């Protein structure tokens, strides 16, 4: 266990302007308190997060046996988590038959994403002995024994600053247009967000960095610049769609394992979208009875394609979005694949 001393949070939470806040609360019915901004990149959190919670995240205990998956939201986090967990656990498919969160993974920044008031409202009723059950504990106990598996949507600069010195981290990036489409559906599906507008309005929020845990491009640039760190394995969603076996082998090597071709084939099959979407342990089925999701707005594991953005962006939206992304990427050598000739 890394015994570094607790450090104070070097960031502050700053409220959004009243007008903006009111608009967010109206358009995202599941976030009636809106969002707050942090004075680092204007990173956005659910308005109910506290600086103490952010400081706890910043000081999350680290251990060299732990593995983290760090991504902006909707970049293939869940897909990557399942791959990482199975590789790290020597392909224990039996052990993988249990809800992903919280049994196998902790969701570090869950309090930064979900509105606490809404969580409490949606919690199951008090049990027979009168004890309130409360919302499901998705963050898990940070001090449970290692090896721990931690998912974080926070960028490196908001995570524990010693993270890469101590733990292995797998990072996944995705092209921002598919991320945006995926996030639009997610924000409609989850009752704690409950976006009521259309796609055009969502893109407007997205391009103003007024969506939960934005900005995403800065998040990806920061990780991209760290990609040669020996404790970081940087992946793209599009590469996983193009050739999953090659990406699996990368992670196998990164985690110090050695699997046969047959084992890699079987894992690729397990992770294939068609199987993955029917796997109850990863597709958040257990959250449906808790009322966290609308039941008539699709599934958490949704479409799994590169280039779905073409079904949503008009030429005008596309031009504007491309300019916005290009501006953010100026001076970096990070580029995104927008479509694939062949994807499985
Ligand atoms: P779409 O909404 O474009 O389908 P996250 O886990 O970070 O929330 O990412 C969710 C996105 O990853 C969704 O994208 C989801 O469908 C996609 N995804 C999940 N499992 C996948 C798989 N096995 N293959 C391809 N894409 C997958």
Q: How far is the CA of 133 from the centre of ligand 1 (A)?
A: 30
Rounded to the nearest 10 degrees, the angle between the axes of helix 199-207 and helix 315-329 is 20
Closest C-alpha residue for ligand 1 atom 20 = 79
DSSP 286-336: GGTTTT-B-SSS--SS----SSGGGGT--HHHHHHHHHHHHHHHTT-----
| Structure-derived torsion over alpha carbons of residues 338, 304, 267, 221, reported in degrees to the nearest 10 | 40
Q: How far is the CA of 172 from the centre of ligand 1 (A)?
A: 12
Element (H, E) at 26: helix 18-27
Least Cα distance to 236 among 306, 172, 151, 181 occurs for 172
- Each residue's pLDDT, cut to its tens digit, for the chain (344 residues) gives 667 789 999 999 999 999 999 999 999 999 999 999 999 999 999 999 999 999 999 999 999 999 999 999 999 999 999 999 999 999 999 999 998 888 899 999 999 998 888 777 776 666 666 655 656 678 888 888 999 999 999 999 999 999 999 999 999 999 999 999 999 999 999 988 999 999 999 999 999 999 999 999 999 999 999 999 999 999 999 999 999 999 999 999 999 999 999 999 999 999 999 999 999 899 877 677 667 788 888 888 999 999 999 999 999 999 999 999 999 999 999 999 999 999 98
Q: How far is the CA of 9 from the centre of ligand 1 (A)?
A: 32
Closest C-alpha residue for ligand 1 atom 14 = 304
> How far lies 273's CA from each of 76, 278, 301, in Å?
11, 9, 8
The rounded radius of gyration (Å) of the Cα atoms in the chain is: 19
Q: How far apart are CA 180 and CA 276, in angstroms?
A: 22
66-103 in b/e form (b: 16+ CB < 10 A) is bbbbbbbbbbbbbbbbbbbbbbbbebeeeebeebbbbe
Phi, psi of 308, rounded to the nearest 5 degrees: -65, -20
Q: Which residues line ligand 1 (CB under 6 A)?
A: 71, 73-79, 178, 182, 185, 271, 273, 276, 301-304, 308
Which atom of ligand 1 lies closest to the CA of 303?
A: 4
3-class secondary-structure state, position 261: helix
Which residues are marked as active site?
Answer: 153
Q: How far is the CA of 123 from the centre of ligand 1 (A)?
A: 26
Closest C-alpha residue for ligand 1 atom 12 = 76
Closest C-alpha residue for ligand 1 atom 24 = 273
Query: Which residues partner with 68 through β-bridges?
Result: 150, 169
Element (H, E) at 263: helix 261-271
Q: Which one of 243, 302, 310 would you pick to mutate in the ligand 1 pocket, going by the greatest count of ligand atoms within 8 A of its CB?
A: 302
pTM, full prediction: 0.96
Least Cα distance to 223 among 290, 143, 159, 144 occurs for 159
């Amino acid at each position: 266990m890394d015994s570094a001393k607790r450090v104070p949070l070097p960031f502050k939470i700053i409220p959004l302007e009243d007008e903006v806040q009111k608009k967010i609360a109206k358009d995202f019915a599941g976030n009636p308190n809106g969002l707050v901004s942090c004075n680092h990149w204007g990173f956005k959190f659910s308005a109910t997060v506290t600086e103490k919670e952010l400081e706890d995240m910043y000081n999350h205990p680290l251990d060299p046996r732990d593995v983290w998956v760090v991504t902006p939201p909707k970049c293939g986090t869940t897909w990557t988590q399942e791959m990482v967990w199975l590789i790290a656990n020597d392909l224990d498919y039996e052990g993988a038959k249990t809800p992903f969160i919280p049994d196998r993974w902790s969701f570090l920044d869950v309090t930064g994403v979900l509105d606490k008031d809404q969580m409490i409202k949606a919690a199951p009723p008090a049990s027979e002995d009168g004890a309130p059950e409360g919302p499901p504990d998705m963050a898990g106990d940070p001090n449970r024994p290692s090896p721990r598996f931690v998912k974080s949507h926070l960028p490196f600069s908001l995570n524990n600053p010693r993270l890469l010195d101590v733990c292995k981290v797998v990072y996944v990036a995705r092209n921002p247009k598919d991320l945006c489409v995926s996030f639009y559906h997610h924000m409609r599906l989850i009752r704690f967000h409950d976006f009521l507008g259309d796609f055009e309005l969502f893109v407007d929020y997205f391009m103003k960095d007024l969506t939960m845990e934005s900005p995403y491009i800065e998040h990806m640039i920061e990780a991209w610049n760290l990609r040669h760190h020996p404790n970081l394995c940087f992946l793209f969603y599009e590469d996983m769609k193009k050739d999953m076996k090659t990406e699996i082998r990368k992670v196998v090597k990164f985690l110090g394992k050695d699997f046969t071709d047959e084992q890699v084939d079987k894992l690729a099959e397990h992770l294939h979208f068609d199987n993955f979407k029917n796997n109850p342990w990863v597709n958040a089925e257990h959250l449906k009875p808790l009322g966290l999701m609308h039941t008539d707005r699709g599934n958490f594991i949704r479409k799994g394609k590169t280039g779905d953005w073409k079904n949503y962006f008009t030429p005008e939206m596309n031009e504007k979005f491309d300019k916005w992304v290009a501006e953010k990427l100026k001076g970096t050598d990070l580029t995104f694949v927008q479509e694939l000739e062949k994807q499985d």
